Chains A and B, each alone.
Chain A
Amino acid sequence: MLRDYTAPITAAPRTPQPVQETSASPLQREPIVNDFAITVATKNGSGSQTSNAILLRALFKMGIPVSGKNLFPSNIQGRPTWYTIRLSKDGYLARRETTEIMIVLNPDTILEDHQNTAPGGVFMYADDIKLPVRRSDLHYYAIPVKEMARQHESDPKLRTYVANMVYVGAIAQLLGIDLNEIEAALMFHFKGKPKPVESNMKVVRAAAAWAAEHLIKTDPYRVERMDKTKGQIMIDGNTAAALGAIYGGVGFAAWYPITPATSLADALNEYLPKLRMDPETQAPTYVVVQAEDELAALGMVMGAGWAGARAMTSTSGPGISLMAEFAGLGYFAEIPAVIWDVQRMGPATGLPTRVSQGDIIAAYWLGHGDTKHPVLLPGSVYECFEFGWRAFDLAERLQTPVFVLSDLDLGMNQWMSKPFDYPEEPMDRGKVLTEEQVNATKGFARYKDVDGDGIGWRTLPGNESPYAAYFTRGSGHNERAMLSERADDWENNMDRLARKFETARKLMPPPVIEMVEGAEIGIIGFGSTDPAIQEARAMLETKGIRASYLRLRALPMNDDVTMFLASHKRIYVVELNSDAQLCQLIRLHSPKDAEKVYPANHNDGLPLTAHWITEEILYQETRH
């Protein structure tokens, strides 16, 4: 039963069926507590990142589940930037499409920001911005941002930065955010340095006092202390990944600057000197190299992994394009390596500061010929840490490059999480022969399948046995690593690599499955869309649709996926790319189920919302 599964999957035209996200009616006075979104509209490079991070952490410290997402341009200074914070008493952390509290400091975007504020919402703006019209369904608060910045900062160059603390103070007063928690957040941000904390707090307090005196609160939004973040941490995925790598024993990292992966290498450089000095020699047990390009970065990782160090690189789409040839060499010469791809929007330069899950096919098959790679798919910052160390165990066990696909949303934004668990499993350094073992082995053969799992034994440079050395090459070779162009050697080697990939299938983390009894439909997703999918399932349930959920955590897929497909009448594959890449991979994985696997893909550069998923599945369900 041959079928053309390479045909493009086209999304059906659809008529939007709005799902009400908020029950707020215009200018309602019933208090709305801990369940709304705040968006701050500024210009990038103005220092608003700090103030937004402070707001986010202060709310988090008040025990309210929050998520923050930075929607920023590919630019250094002066272009519009938005930061959205979602407060959710029910713990939903995905982005929302509506925002109830709009704070505008950027006159360039005033029209669209004005339009995009939810009915009944708050419009807080710097009072030097002229409002063209006023809506009857919004609460307006004009703040003398420039005047207060002038009062508190004599240096005109720093006034833009200080202005950010003005809105922090004003909104804190208006919503009831505890100023002590703002101070604690500043302490966290400035790593306990009292001077910047005090100078910022001075502005925050003054702005809060001004707001208390001059603003009459007419809106219903406020925050209240909860205990839903107790024991939780807040961290971005790139830092989590770097920490995972450090606890996984990274010995060598090479990288080239690229958004949104740069902060992963930054975190390595921040934490490694604190955690990984040899107490005996005071020397580092690691090396981090900023390479001349991504191609050299993976080349260095290949050399280091081959020589026995736990080696990794971190990059994004354009980087993995450059790494393609080395990825193929790593697969064929069987060299352990870990490659983090913090995905951004492609093709080409694309939208470098916007999220996408568009590299899953590219990473899985990166390289020419019959190359394929194990791919890890972390779905949370917790898993960024876990897969950070686990990836090295898999790479050394399987002697092959292992990809870890994060994305901009997961990697660069702050997420609440349970604290990371210390790796309890001992490191798996894979099959490495010592000098004595080589000497005892009658005829060491690097690529011989001794154990039937497709994985040969390797030796490391520095092994002083005269029988240990072999010549590593990307050209055809036999079991003894000798150049060979013989047909049988080639086929035997490729068959063994296929067996090794089957071993990988068993070793990769299985999917997380939430089976709902009696559910006709199942949702499959991966990565950063997890919170949106979880919330969408709750929304669908209110519409009478119950959906099971399989969150894929690795490629190649295992039998759990096959079973999940068999257990449901319709499967929707939720992902952030235009070609429904995972949907295509699932259809290839189980061709007999292909006809009941439907794409639910979206790709506008923004983190996925539960609203979109719900609407999409509701629409597709009406057609069945």
Chain B
Amino acid sequence: MTAIKNGITAGNGAQATTTPAPLPKMSAPGASTAGVNIIGLVKADYKGLESTLCNGCGHDSISSQIITACYELGVKPEHIVKFSGIGCSSKSPAYFMSRSFGFNALHGRMPSVAQGALLANHTLQGLGVSGDGDTGSIGLGQFMHLIRRNLRMVYIIENNGVYGLTKGQFSATADVGQELKHAGRNEFPPIDLCRAAIVADCGFVARSFAGDPKQVVTLLKAALCHRGTAVLDIISPCVTFNNRDDSTKSYAWGKAHDERINDIGFVMSQEEIRVDYAEGETKEVELFDGSKIVLKKLDGSHDPTDKQAALRLLTEAHEKQLFITGLLYINTERPNLAETYHLVKPIASYQQDKLRPSRESLQKIMSAMY
């Protein structure tokens, strides 16, 4: 069996670009034919291997939305690098975009591996998939430090509040007082990873629900255009171990308690077409590549550029055991990690001529050592 599917239609042999290039070159509007995106690829070019997760798993739905988002944006699969930790969620990068390199790291350690890889080649777009155990427990430290450094990558948390591969223990995002068949009663309050991300100065924090493909795709597209770390916490119910109707991570709870704060229409500046743009109060946020997201406030009250408001909103929702979906906080001002290090060409592209200083320079150092 091969990871390469049919339908490779374009993009072979292009040289690596030397500037951040998450977005493909645009073809003229109206040039694409049916089923072919703006860089001439069909959706099958974004496919991965067959999933081995449980039937109906929310994670598979998210994988599909990743494929849709990248296909619709026209991201070249070879420009994406997939990362994950360990757990059900972390297996999923194998199930989308086989033409992208992937690194399935250690439990909780995806952030460090992603930082190394994307500092070695900062022209690539990172797309990480982690879980609530992977991020909220064993990997909490690396998660916070990744955000603190502001590496440009999309960080998806497939959040189901439970450890699936080890058969149903509580994770750090499980609801207090929740009961599970094997684990009993959870005595501790959940860590809200969106609040944690905002506290660590994350410039893009959003929450969604795996069963809401339209919102997931929209948020993913926006996240892919963010200049720094974009955290996307997606409630993704576990069909096997955590889908009791009274769990906040169940489908039933999600559908009933999903309070949308804004509807986001994502607009690529190159296209100048607004998708799903509605009347009413709007707010435009410019992303680093010139594209904009336009926020439509359904309830007209949340300003996602207001950090205090975002924290207040999440704190109140936390107390009511509600999850607010949509873009919670955005700040596009912070320089990302590659910018902080003033990187121009990918470090990994340098060869001996630039990597080994001259013979004379060593002699000079040696003569100073006497």
State the CA gap A471–B100 with chains docked (Å): 8
A321 in contact (CB, < 8 A): no
The reply to whether B102 and A471 contact each other, CB–CB distance below 8 Å, is: yes
Knowing A281-B344, A308-B348, say if A296 contacts B365 (CB, 8 Å): no
Contacts of B142 in A (CB 8 A): 292, 296, 299
- Report the Cα distance A276→B357, complex, angstroms: 7
Kindly report which residue of chain B lies nearest to residue A229, judged by CB atoms: B370
| A475 interface contact, C-beta 8 A | yes
User: Does B359 belong to the interface (CB within 8 Å)?
Assistant: yes
**A156 an interface residue at 8 Å Cβ cutoff?**
no
CA distance A232 to B81 in the complex (A): 49
When distances are taken between beta carbons in the complex, the residues of chain B under 8 Å from A235 are 369
Q: Is A16 an interface residue (CB 8 A)?
A: no
B286 at the interface (CB under 8 A from A): no
- Please judge, given known A-B contacts A292-B141, A439-B12, whether A251 and B347 are in contact too, CB under 8 Å: yes
Contact, CB under 8 Å: B366 / A303: no
* Interfacial chain B residues near A291, Cβ < 8 Å: 112, 145
Residue A247 lies at the interface, judged by CB distance under 8 Å to chain B: yes
Cα separation A556 to B175 with both chains bound (whole Å): 52
Judged by a CB distance under 8 angstroms, whether A104 is at the interface is: no
Distance, CA A475 to CA B106, complexed state (A): 10
Q: Which residue of B lies closest to A296 (CB)?
A: B112
Chain A's closest residue to B362 (CB) is A422
- CB-based contact B4/A466 at 8 Å: yes
Tell me whether B343 is interfacial, beta carbon within 8 Å.
Answer: yes
| B49: A residues at CB distance < 8 A | 482
By the criterion CB–CB under 8 Å, are A299 and B109 in contact?
Answer: yes
| A423 vs B355: C-alpha distance when bound (angstroms) | 12
| Residue B283 interfacial (CB < 8 Å) | no
Instruction: Give the interface segment out of B116-124, B212-220, B231-239, B272-280.
Output: B116-124
Assess the B344–A283 pair: CB atoms within 8 A. Answer: yes
Q: How far is the CA of A62 from the CA of B272 in the complex (A)?
A: 76
Q: How far is the CA of A507 from the CA of B344 in the complex (A)?
A: 35
In the complex with contacts A251-B355, A292-B142, A300-B119 CB distance below 8 A: yes
Q: Would you call B361 an interface residue if the criterion is a C-beta within 8 Å of the partner chain's C-beta atoms?
A: yes
Question: Complex Cα distance A61/B103, Å?
Answer: 53
**Taking the nearest CB of chain B, how far is it from the CB of A127, in angstroms?**
36
B258 CB-CB contact with A under 8 Å: no
CA distance A302 to B100 in the complex (A): 18
Contact B99 A233 (CB under 8 A): no
Contact of A278 with B354 in the complex, beta carbons under 8 Å: yes
A435-B13, A472-B103 in contact; A461/B369 too (CB < 8 A)?
Answer: no
Asked whether A422 lies within 8 Å of B359 as measured between CB atoms, the reply is yes
CA separation between A467 and B114, bound complex, in Å?
Answer: 22
Give Cα distance in the complex from A276 to B349, angstroms.
14
Closest-by-CB residue of B relative to A311 is: B116
When distances are taken between beta carbons in the complex, the residues of chain A under 8 Å from B117 are: 303-304, 306-307, 461
In the assembly, what is the distance between CA of A329 and CA of B103, in Å? 11
Closest residue of A by beta carbon distance from B119: A287
Measured CB to CB, the closest approach of chain B to A344, in angstroms, equals 24
Q: A420-B362, A473-B104 are known contacts. Are A302 and B12 too (CB-CB below 8 A)? A: no
Contact check, B116 vs A299: say whether CB atoms are below 8 A apart: yes
Check if B341 sits within 8 Å of A309, measured CB to CB.
Answer: no
Let me know if B166 is at the binding interface, CB within 8 A: no
- A232 & B370 in contact (Cβ 8 Å cutoff): yes
- CB–CB A462/B357 < 8 A: no
Chain B CB within 8 A of A463 CB: yes
Q: How many A-B residue pairs have CB under 8 A?
A: 241
Is B14 in the interface zone, CB < 8 Å from A?
yes
- Interface bracket on B: 35 or more
B326 at the A interface (CB under 8 A): no
Are B361 and A439 in touch, CB under 8 angstroms? Answer: no
B121 touches A469 (CB 8 A): no
How far, in Å, is A304 (CB) from chain B's closest CB? 4
Do A480 and B2 contact each other (CB < 8 Å), given the known contacts A303-B112, A427-B352?
yes
Shortest CB–CB separation between residue A75 and chain B, in angstroms?
28
Interface residues of B in 254-270 (CB under 8 A from A): none
User: Does A110 interact with chain B (Cβ within 8 Å)?
Assistant: no
In the complex, chain A residues whose CB is within 8 Å of the CB of B2: 443, 480
Of the candidates B119, B141, B355, which one forms a contact with A304 in the assembled complex, judged by CB atoms under 8 Å apart? Answer: B119
Q: Does A538 contact B (CB under 8 A)?
A: no
Q: A465-479 toward B: CB 8 Å interface, digit per residue (1/0)?
A: 111111111110000
**Contact assessment for B93 and A461 in the assembled complex, using a CB-CB cutoff below 8 Å:** no
Interface flag for B182 (CB, 8 Å)? no
B105-137 interface (Cβ within 8 A of A): 105-106, 109, 111-121, 123-124
* Per-position binary interface string of chain B over residues 71-111, scored 1 when its CB falls under 8 Å from any chain A CB and 0 otherwise: 00000111001100000000001100011111111100101
Beyond contacts A471-B102, A472-B104, A474-B104: 13 other A-B pairs, Cβ-Cβ < 8 A, are: A243-B362, A278-B354, A285-B354, A300-B116, A301-B116, A306-B120, A307-B81, A309-B121, A459-B101, A460-B121, A462-B123, A471-B94, A471-B101
28 inter-chain pairs at a CB distance below 8 angstroms, sorted by A residue, are A247-B356, A249-B356, A252-B116, A276-B357, A278-B345, A283-B342, A285-B350, A287-B341, A300-B112, A303-B105, A303-B118, A303-B120, A306-B117, A307-B116, A308-B121, A325-B106, A426-B352, A461-B81, A461-B101, A466-B11, A466-B12, A468-B78, A469-B100, A469-B102, A470-B3, A471-B94, A480-B3, A482-B3
Binding site for A on B (CB under 8 A): 1-4, 8, 11-16, 45, 49, 76-78, 81-82, 93-94, 98-106, 109, 111-121, 123-124, 141-142, 145, 341-352, 354-357, 359, 361-362, 365-366, 368-370
